[in-house]
A and B are shown apart, each in its own frame.
Chain A
Amino acid sequence: MTAVAICGGRLIDPAAGVDAAKDILLKDGRVAEIAGPGKLKSMNGAKVLDAAGLIVAPGLIDIHVHLREPGQGYKETIATGTAAAAAGGFTAVAAMPNTTPVNDSAETTRWMQAPERGAEVRVFPIAAATRGSKGETINDYAALKSAGAVAVTDDGRPILKDAMMRETLTAAARAGLTVIQHAEDTRMTEGASMNLGPVSFKLGLRGMPAEAESRMVERDIRLVAELRDAHPHLHVAHTSTAAALAAVRQARRNGLRVTCEVAPHHFLLTEEHVGLYNTHAKMNPPLRSAADRDAMIEGIFDGVVDAIATDHAPHAMHEKEVEFPLAPNGITGLETALGLCLHWLHVEWKLPIGRVLSLLSAQPAALLGLKGRGTLAIGSYADVVVFDPKAEWTYRATESKSKAKNTPFDGWKMQGKVRWTISEGRIAFAATA
């Protein structure tokens, strides 16, 4: 593999506390050398990327994506989903197990990582917590972990039974895996297609109460506290309500290992964005009230939010062009995350850029224990994003590398344009012109 030297840029590596003008040399898939501008020693034969005016940062890591393979290749494939990831500056994605069949085996976990899938960036499978995600029989976590699974979840089909969740947390702790919970008491959300509130009443749609999320988070935290001696790690996926976030905050004060992520749509949009039955504003958890949205922003600023994750959920166009209650949940997110985060969190609301990048790389890597990722320290994986922080642009869903175009952010202003995405030393994405 050719060595790559990225020269003239501003290197921001939050994990290493670096924010300075540095050149960086990538060799054999690893970070080989970092030096002041023009001071790299061993550049012989390296391909040089001119990063003048650009930011060089650890490749972004999205710990919550749906790549739809195996079995749902008409929505997305691992190849197209990771191409979208690379275009968005991501060098690693953690893929949810709600595929066909459900990824509940070492075999499927390995299949997803095989070179034949044509992944542009590193795929870390998250395996099902229970057989078929049916919430009845626990999977073999040790085998899943050795096959490459980085966490377990029954995402979308949350584990409701206390006993099952207790068993899951215990077994995962023993195997050194994180349990990710899509927190939703599905007994309270049957037939519902948006947030319960004045907007759902007006639109005549059945609503999901905020309590369906927060009560499940509170229940899970109670179980983590009971099992304290086993040190389970609970990660709350796509937190969307103020009450759930408050529960996570309290659990952390109590010394429990509870982390959470927030998706860009939950800190930017509210239930009002459903408009007149826009199925591109339908996801689960749903867009919430303005107060909940504001709580997500505060959580990002005050640090209780550990990571920003997109919940990239591609669907075929014809699946979304149906009656709102019948439309599948989810929106794409890989290509809009950086642009939205920089525009809103950094430029508009003045969150330091290092913190934005940390929420998108160092923190998610630490959360899932992805060693050598989320940092550009010498010897770590050569996962790098190079972007122009000044560039303003408009996102066009039609130009997406994803198979799917289901996004509410079509036409939104973005800040920061990805120039190169380098995955383990290989240029996975290069902007045209």
Chain B
Amino acid sequence: MNPAPAAHAIRRQVTAPPPPASKFPYNPGSLLSVLDLTVDEVSRLLTRATELEVEDPILRDHILAKRRIALLFYESSTRTRTSFELAAKALGADTTLVSNLSSSIEKGESLKDTGLTLRALGAEAIILRHNSSGAAWLLEESTRLPIINAGDGMHEHPTQALLDLRTILAHLHPGITVVGEKTLAGVTVTIVGDILHSRVARSNMLLLPRMGASVVLCGPKELLPEQAAAAGPGIAIERDFDAALRQSQAVMMLRIQAERIAGLQLDLDDYKASYQLTGQRLAAQAPTAVVLHPGPIIRGMEITAGVADGVQSAILEQVTNGLAIRMAVMERALLVSEQGGHA
């Protein structure tokens, strides 16, 4: 029998029901993905970050006074964990840290049960760092609490993208107070390295184009599959690092793990020759671009020490911006969810 013509395939489309797309978040205070935020909400968070940063610490201490925020970390972390913790304390909240080591998680307690336990202990919001993509959705479905995704596997790290946005704005549009869909029009941000395994890359590539920026992804095909360009609008792939740099006003380097390069049978020296950000390369191709890196940086691997410490580097500003952004995000988590709507 001959295969039926293509026209039949069109007639036989499955028309209903559509895939369940937007079941989450349940809680308006949650921040699981950058896609949960409207452009206006992003703008408000940036504004609040600035206001909270300069607020009198005594007054700021009352905003979330004695509110309980749990930090649930299934992965080791320096800056994200400390940043959330200090931000919560700066708003007067009580925090508790539960890590996969030294807790009942080691004894096999599930994420769902751990979340329910924290809720029963009075946690009003949970900051979750987890090694499985999608873990934040499971925790929210289980607890219905405001959940802040502090990194889920290879998926997303929304507060990182917000702090990166704040850093980029500070350099390209200093003093700007309100952002919209065209604020970053004409700006190209290149993200370089292990895109495939990076939640920072995914959150940034989904957030920055919504502010008008073009995102260029750069890396070898083993670490940057072609389908990455289809993740959202405003995303392009450029495998030539120099060509990508030449069009960029901001360049974001990602950490490279030597084991991963070896596992993919890439030659480390070749990789560095193609994708390491050196002083020479930066001076030649993008002498005014701002250099970002979510950390932890591996000096001499994806970035030279000279560039990391150089005048174009905003790496430590990113860390400081993280504190301000996370104050705003936690305030939203606890106050917005109480109002049952968007602040």
Contact = CB atoms under 8 A, between A and B. Distances in A.
Interface of A: 197-198, 201-205, 268-270, 272-278, 293-294, 297-298, 301-303, 318, 321-326, 344, 348-349, 411-413
Interface of B: 1-4, 8-9, 11-12, 14-17, 19-21, 23-24, 110-112, 130, 132-135, 137-138, 142, 152-156, 196, 199, 202, 225, 227-228, 230-231
Contacts of B111: 322-323
Nearest to A412: B17
A289 to B, nearest CB: 11
B112 A294 contact: no
Nearest to A206: B154
B3 A302 contact: yes
Of A197, A270, A277, A322, the most chain B CB neighbours within 10 A belong to A277
Contact of A302 (B4, B11, B21, B135): B4
A310 to B, nearest CB: 17
Contacts of B112: 321-322
A322 B110 contact: yes
B142 A321 contact: yes
Contacts of A297: 9, 12
Contacts of A276: 20-21, 23-24, 134, 137
Contact of A344 (B14, B137, B199): B14
Given A197-B227, A202-B231, A323 B130 contact: yes
Consensus secondary structure, chain A interface? helix
Pairs of residues from A and B, 6 with the lowest C-beta to C-beta distance, nearest first:
A204-B155, A277-B134, A204-B154, A323-B132, A204-B133, A198-B227
A283 to B, nearest CB: 15
Given A298-B8, A318-B110, A349-B11, A325 B133 contact: yes
B45 to A, nearest CB: 22
Given A204-B202, A301-B4, A275 B19 contact: yes
A323 B152 CA distance: 10
B8 A301 contact: yes
Contacts of B227: 197-198, 201
A273 B231 contact: no
A294 B14 CA distance: 9
A298 B230 contact: no
Nearest to A326: B132
A198 B231 contact: yes
A348 B137 CA distance: 34
B117 to A, nearest CB: 15
Nearest to A280: B20
Given A323-B134, A324-B134, 17 more contacts: A202-B202, A204-B152, A204-B156, A205-B153, A272-B19, A275-B20, A275-B21, A277-B133, A293-B14, A298-B4, A298-B8, A301-B4, A322-B111, A322-B112, A323-B111, A412-B17, A413-B16
A417 B125 CA distance: 46
Contacts of A325: 132-134, 153
27 contacts: A198-B231, A201-B225, A201-B227, A204-B133, A204-B156, A205-B133, A205-B134, A205-B155, A269-B19, A275-B19, A275-B23, A276-B134, A277-B133, A294-B9, A302-B2, A302-B3, A302-B4, A303-B1, A318-B110, A321-B110, A321-B138, A322-B138, A324-B138, A325-B133, A325-B153, A348-B12, A349-B12
